[in-house]
Amino acid sequence: MDIMDQIKEQVEGNTILLYMKGSPNQPQCGFSARTVQALMACGEKFAYVDVLANQDIRSNLPKYGNWPTFPQLWVKGELIGGCDIVAEMHDSGELETLIKEAAASQEVS
């Protein structure tokens, strides 16, 4: 499978997906750690991909999403953004609303 197809399958196959450096239990950069904390505070399960463990995804995801940095949060196939955007959304309460609605829609379908 082509790497772009693999990324597309991951994005479309996971309602809430975080591309990050490391894992939620062991983030490998401060930006990934902050993003995971904000996401975990929403109380819903999410999938993740460690871009450090997969060089092909790490080098091609910025082209796929037209977003140059990591982490990247995708919800329902749409790129939400990176650490700063996720942190701002968390502070305003917008992130929790988005994540809860996405998780609820996943349970219904």
Please report, in range form, the residues annotated as the binding site for glutathione.
Answer: 21, 58, 70, 83-84
> ∠ at Cα 99 (16, 71), nearest 5°?
50
Annotated binding-site residue numbers: 21, 29, 58, 70, 83-84
* Measured CA distances, 57 to 51, 65, 104 (Å): 6, 11, 28
- Residue 19 CA to residue 11 CA, distance in Å, equals 10
Q: Provide the annotated binding site for [2Fe-2S] cluster.
A: 29
